[in-house]
Amino acid sequence: MDQTLVAALARAAGLEKALADHPEDVAAAAAQAQLQAGTIAFPTDPAAEPWPPMQAGDRL
Amino acid sequence: MTELHWLSAGEAARAIAERRLSPVELMQSLLERIGRIDPRINAFIRLDADAALAAARAAEAEIAAGRIRGPLHGVPVGIKDIIDVAGLPTTCHSKILVDNVAGTDAEVVSRLRGAGAIVLGKLSTHEFAIGGPSFDLPFPPARNPWNRDHHPGGSSSGSGAGVAAGLFPIALGTDTGGSVRNPASACGIVGLKPTYGLVSRRGVFPLSYTLDHVGPMTRTVADNALLLNVIAGHDAADPASAPGPAGPFDHLLDRGIGDLRIGFVQHFHQTDLVSDAEVTAALDQVALALREQGARVRPVALPSLTEFAAVNRIILTSEAWSIHAPWLRSRPGDYGQLSRRRLMAGAFVSAGDYVGAQRRRKEMIAAVQDTFRDVDILLCASSMEPASAIENAEATARTYPRQARTPFNVTGHPALAMMSGLSRNGLPLSVQFVGRYFEDSTVLRAAAAWERASGGPKHPPIE
């Protein structure tokens, strides 16, 4: 991931302090998230629902 | 008589109830052993010796008066330090919570006390059950009693190391991506991640709401079932708790497995993540032994380990970020580096990817459920190699993800890891048994069959 984008996303997430003190950890975290998301075959069928189910059940 | 520190919980409880063994004598024996061995393996963050001894004396008096509280009366238990014990700090092995004293017991601790168990203290973990093994935390990491130079697995590392070393017969761990089964695998004990919703998580510091489980860690399968009998059951205060009665879980252990159909998930260790040759040979030996006991074993296929792991991590880091964001923003330097990196990943996962992972999760659940139409139990690898050297950070980072445990956090099926053999260099190898939802007793039954075939629990050479 582009490091300028990583820094912008980190600031948007409120991680200014981590970005200043631990920039290599912020970069590693971003790379990890990107790698994992890129590995998943996300469902393409709009009817594919998540688990846990988005239903009320018998109590809230 | 078996040395006191190698008594199973069931054996100890029976001997105590029949007044053949004093709970005070047992406690003193274990405290002496802890004092001698724990400085070498760091299983404890906090040993509550005085309170444990006082509880043992109270148990002795109650039993002498004919009052047996329950099936664990007088039996010592260790508690992973992300689980609340009233009056003791729940530090999560972290500087962030080093002074966080619990006001009340977690539900599982309350159930243990109700059964008469005695809490010995709080046990080492990876920081917040995710960052470890690490040397930049306020407490040292636990070490493997089979070889102190190697890690004991994690994140329930003190639970695994302490049970294996004979410091206590039973312990509680938690499992979000394999954290009961990893130390069970590395330390050669029995660790069960029960069906999601079977055991209450109330009073357990959360890592990931939809992946977290509490599970029993023991030296024998029978003790695992006994401990599950005590801790399982509905808790209206845990939103994930399953309604209805739970257990018993120990009634099928001696039944044999001649009627079981077992699906061997070979692609996990043959192609997805190629296992060490000794692990492969031990898994084949387990399959052979189960066949010899009458089970029908055949290969089955599930989605790839790589994708299971990615779904687990996207969900875990997203949910963990929602918990840790305030501290990661204000106190990032108070985390160890491994936790900081792993937890901050959640800041870079989009909402769409999180929900997408939960949608893919449903498809993966359906794939496993389909497989359980044709088999009763899944047999598969747990760790792809024995534990690496604890101070070799590169080896640990490379080998920790090489495992087949995360699929069953994603799906919620009950999964148990235990020893499959020993490596040439004397470290435990492991196998995993997985069952249908709420058929934890069948998982324990298959594990008991392998335990019998393998000659029973093995103990590490530590004295």
CB proximity A7 to B under 8 Å? no
CB proximity B136 to A under 8 Å? no
Band the pLDDT of B228: cuts 50, 70, 90: very high
Mean of the pLDDT values across residues B43-62? 98
What one-letter code names the amino acid at B217?
Answer: M
pLDDT per residue over B108-142, tens digit each?
A: 999 999 999 999 999 999 999 999 999 999 999 99
Band the pLDDT of A56: cuts 50, 70, 90: low
On whether residue B428 sits in a domain, the answer given is yes
CB proximity B349 to A under 8 Å? yes
Domain count, chain B: 1
Does the bond joining A52 to the residue before it have cis omega, within 30 degrees of 0? yes
pLDDT at position A57: 60
Do B330 and A41 count as a contact with CB atoms less than 8 A apart?
Answer: no
* CB-side neighbour CA atoms (13 Å) of B314: 28
**DSSP-based three-state secondary structure for B142:** coil
A13: which chain B residues are within 8 Å (Cβ-Cβ)?
Answer: 325, 329, 347-348
On whether residue B191 sits in a domain, the answer given is yes
Does the bond joining B155 to the residue before it have cis omega, within 30 degrees of 0? yes
Catalytic site positions of B: 80, 155, 179
Please list, residue by residue across B405-431, b when 16 or more beta carbons sit within 10 angstroms of its beta carbon and e when fewer do. Answer: bbbbbbbbbbbbbbbbbbbeeebbbbb
Q: Please give the residue range of the domain that contains residue B50.
A: 4-453
On whether residue B262 sits in a domain, the answer given is yes
Mean of the pLDDT values across residues B413-433? 98
CB proximity B345 to A under 8 Å? yes
pLDDT exceeds 90 at position B314: yes
B332: which chain A residues are within 8 Å (Cβ-Cβ)?
Answer: 15, 17-18, 21-22, 25
Q: Is the CA virtual torsion B189, B190, B196, B200 positive or negative?
A: negative
pLDDT at position B150: 98
pLDDT per residue over B135-194, tens digit each?
A: 999 999 999 999 999 999 999 999 999 999 999 999 999 999 999 999 999 999 999 999
Chain A interface, best mutation among B348, B360, B411, by max A CB count within 10 A? B348
Does the bond joining B133 to the residue before it have cis omega, within 30 degrees of 0? yes
User: Per this entry, what is the length of chain A?
Assistant: 60
B341: nearest CB among A21, A25, A50: A25
Question: Is-contact B190 B416, C-beta < 8 A?
Answer: yes
Do B310 and A9 count as a contact with CB atoms less than 8 A apart?
Answer: no
pLDDT exceeds 60 at position A59: no
A48: nearest CB among B313, B329, B359: B359
On whether residue B164 sits in a domain, the answer given is yes
3-state SS, B233-302, equals CCCCCCCCCCCCCCCCCCCCCCCCCCCCEEEECHHHHHHHCCCCHHHHHHHHHHHHHHHHCCCEEEECCC
Q: What is the pTM of this model?
A: 0.98
**DSSP-based three-state secondary structure for B376:** coil
CB proximity B360 to A under 8 Å? yes
On whether residue B147 sits in a domain, the answer given is yes
Chain A interface, best mutation among B359, B361, B400, B408, by max A CB count within 10 A? B359
Q: What is the CATH number of the domain that holds B80?
A: 3.90.1300.10
On whether residue B459 sits in a domain, the answer given is no
CB proximity A19 to B under 8 Å? no
On whether residue B159 sits in a domain, the answer given is yes
B359: which chain A residues are within 8 Å (Cβ-Cβ)?
Answer: 42-43, 48-51
d(CA A17, CA B224): 45
Band the pLDDT of A1: cuts 50, 70, 90: confident
Do A43 and B313 count as a contact with CB atoms less than 8 A apart?
Answer: no
